[in-house]
Amino acid sequence: MLRVASSQGILLATMRADIIRQLIEAHAGGNDAGFRKAALQLAAAESAAGHTRIAEDLRRQVATLPSGRSRGSVVDIAQPRGDLAEILEGGHRDERLRDIVLSEGAKSELTRVIKENRSRASLERHGIQPRRKLLFHGVPGCGKTLAAAVLAGEMGLPLLTVRLASLFSRFLGATANHVRSIFSEMGQRPAVYLFDEFDSIAQARGQSNDVGELRRVATAFLQLMDTDESPSLIVAATNHPELLDRAVFRRFDAVVPFEAPREAQLTQLVQLRLKVQGIDPQVARAAARLGLGLSYADAARACDDAIRSMVLDHRERLTEDDLIRAFEAARRRGDEQSEFHGRP
């Protein structure tokens, strides 16, 4: 563990030295965009080291820099280029813990992981790393992808999502190489790396007939997970944890179950979504009771529908009726879908 801590320290020091050199070069060359880019990279490196406050200070300073001579050519440094540009997509996120409603268990685990990563430097002085390889599982629409964005937002790191369609290469042998490039990127570009629909990687079935190739991908992934010591966070999300075997689960530092919302969580979600419009707590609870069985995503959509009704009727205030109707409609949609899929 001590070896891990010190190799991380060296990695960060090298990264900082490299960024500072870029800062100086950009300054000397009058390259405003380059200067901004390097400064933001420094902020990301500090975030990854758990120095969230320093990172936020840096970002604030960058935001107040006069807009550069090379306007229009400002690139989001969070977005990788080259080979990986097609595979990784994303950028900086504004989501915070206050934007997500979760069961007590999931919320406290998420909060704890954020705290650990913010305290990275102190933990490393004890030869310990924050937990940074996370598996999120649960039914669709319960906030797994959102939680990855919240992690990124809270840590001040970009969220980079692995695009599965581009990852699974048409070229034999290339997919495992893509996976290797992603892991090597993790060392150079601190971020939250999200492997959504992770079961398709861990299982890697159905994408090709060449089973040997697919097994290589899964094996490469697990080996890289084992040896990864990067400053990045890895989030794997899946709706089908039953498809993963124990060897896969074992690789993660934390496994977080995302449950379907109960009445209390649905009430919170309604209040959160309708914060601007303002909603009576009693009405929020009535909507939540109607919405029992819906996912967070379905309930969020019902709230949006209620706002649509209000706006289309040229009203300034959301009524109980708007909300109840929207939730009844969401319920009906849910029932129709279960019929369609042959479920009770």
Ligand X SMILES: Nc1ncnc2c1ncn2[C@@H]1O[C@H](COP(=O)(O)OP(=O)(O)O)[C@@H](O)[C@H]1O
Smallest distance, ligand X to C-beta of residue 320, A: 22
- Output 101 or 279, the one with its CB closest to ligand X: 101
What radius of gyration do the chain's Cα atoms show?
22
User: For the sheet containing 192-195, what is the strand order?
Assistant: 88-91, 159-162, 192-195, 233-238, 133-138, 254-258
Token pair recorded at residue 75: 């690139």
Question: Which residue has the closest beta carbon to ligand X?
Answer: 143
Residue 296 or 327 with smaller CB distance to ligand X: 296
Contact string 82-101 vs ligand X (x = CB under 6 A) = ------------------xx
Output 102 or 191, the one with its CB closest to ligand X: 102
By the rule CB under 6 A, 146 interacts with ligand X:
yes
239 binds Mg ion (CB under 5 A): no
d(CA 234, CA 41): 19
Contacts of 1 (CB under 8 A, 6+ apart): 127, 128, 129
Residue 29 interacts with, from ligand X, Mg ion, none (CB under 5-8 Å by kind): none
Q: Least Å distance between CB 93 and ligand X?
A: 11
> Scanning residues 94 to 133, which ones bind ligand X (CB under 6 A)?
100-102
Distance in angstroms between the alpha carbons of the first and the last residue of the chain: 51
Number of residues that bind Mg ion (CB under 5 A): 2
Nearer to ligand X, 120 or 144 (CB): 144
200 binding Mg ion? (CB under 5 A):
no
Under the criterion CB under 6 A, does residue 140 sit at the interface with ligand X? yes
Q: Which is nearer to Mg ion, 45 or 269 (CB)?
A: 269
Residues of this chain, 213-272, that bind ligand X according to CB under 6 A: 237, 258, 269
Region near ligand X per CB under 6 A, out of 113-121, 141-149, 181-189, 332-340: 141-149
Q: How far is the CB of 168 from Mg ion (least distance, A)?
A: 18
* 330 lies in the site for ligand X, by CB under 6 A: no
What would the x/- binding string for ligand X be over residues 278 to 307, using CB under 6 A?
------------------xx--x-------
Backbone angles phi, psi at 20, to 5 degrees: -65, -40
| Segment interacting with ligand X (CB under 6 A) among 58-66, 139-147, 179-187, 315-323 | 139-147
Exactly one of 11, 88, 142, 283 binds ligand X (CB under 6 A); which one? Answer: 142
| 141 touches ligand X by CB under 6 A | yes
Judged by CB under 5 A, does residue 145 bind Mg ion?
yes
Query: For residue 8, what are its two tokens?
Result: 């991380």
Closest to ligand X by CB, 146 or 248: 146
- Nearer to ligand X by C-beta: 56 or 95? 95
Q: Report d(CA 174, CA 134) in Å as an integer.
A: 26
Q: Count residues contacting ligand X (CB under 6 A)?
A: 16
Q: Which does 146 bind (CB under 5 to 8 A by kind): ligand X, Mg ion, none?
A: ligand X
Binding site for ligand X (CB under 6 A): 100-102, 140-146, 237, 258, 269, 296-297, 300
Binding site for Mg ion (CB under 5 A): 144-145
